[in-house]
Amino acid sequence: MLTQYKTLKQLGVDEIVIKKSRFIGHAKPVDSEEEAIRFIESVKKEHWSATHNCSAYVVGERDECQKQSDDGEPSGTAGKPILEVIKHQGLKNVVVVVTRYFGGIMLGAGGLIRAYTDGAVTGIAAAKPVYRVLHAEVRVTIDYTWHGKVENELRNRGTLLGETLFTDKVTIVCLPEAPEAEWFVAWMTDLTQGQAVIARGEDRYVEHDIADRGE
């Protein structure tokens, strides 16, 4: 599994008008090529009267599935620019459809490339790019006497926390980033002088804002 990748938070739709033509950008995160195809078909169904519904998607850990469609526009003027926007932004597991309602003014090849590029950028911005970061679940069970110290140290380190369970002991669900899991377990063992019971759970992806990852 990738330790992190950039994708989209949600479905996003927005539009721009260029020389009286409407370009509606639709962008969505997907988990498979089949889901991407279904989304494209749903946009085509919704905008059946549009002049064109051009699309592109990138799916897979290594971007192994990449497809594009000009949907009747001159070759290379629509699907390819949309795909290039996805790749330029470093996005994975996303599909973008740019719907065009022709306004009566021809744009030429260069104009179409710019328009579909801008339409894709508009849709992606509406869908809110995020990072999905792989975190390890580490359950730390301690006596109540350790609770304040451990919780304070975790917050000082900025460790992402899940729920805290209170029974005869305290169990804190910690979510360090996956590459740091072994270090985290060793640190927690040292911090509690070996008195904590530590158990690994399943790794999971957590969404992080782009700004939080230094962009």
Contact 12, 39 (CB under 8 A): no
Predicted local distance difference test score (pLDDT) of residue 1 = 84
**All structural domains of the chain with their residue ranges:** 4-127, 133-213
Edge-to-edge, what's the strand order for the sheet holding 170-174?
A: 161-166, 170-174, 138-142, 197-200
81, two tokens:
């620019």
Mean pLDDT of 10-19: 97
- Output the CA torsion sign for 153, 155, 159, 163: positive
pLDDT at 63 over 90: yes
What confidence tens digit (pLDDT) does each residue in 185-215 have?
Answer: 999 999 999 999 999 999 999 999 987 766 6
Domain 4-127 listed as CATH 1.10.760.10? no
Predicted local distance difference test score (pLDDT) of residue 214 = 63
Predicted local distance difference test score (pLDDT) of residue 50 = 97
Contact 4, 93 (CB under 8 A): no
Nearest CA-CA partner of 124 in 102, 97, 157, 158: 97
What confidence tens digit (pLDDT) does each residue in 122-167 have?
Answer: 999 999 999 999 999 999 999 999 999 999 999 999 999 999 999 9
Predicted local distance difference test score (pLDDT) of residue 210 = 87
What confidence tens digit (pLDDT) does each residue in 79-126 have?
Answer: 999 999 999 999 999 999 999 999 988 899 999 999 999 999 999 999
pLDDT at 54 over 70: yes
CATH of 133-213, one of 3.30.230.30, 3.20.20.60, 3.90.1150.50, 3.30.70.240: 3.30.70.240
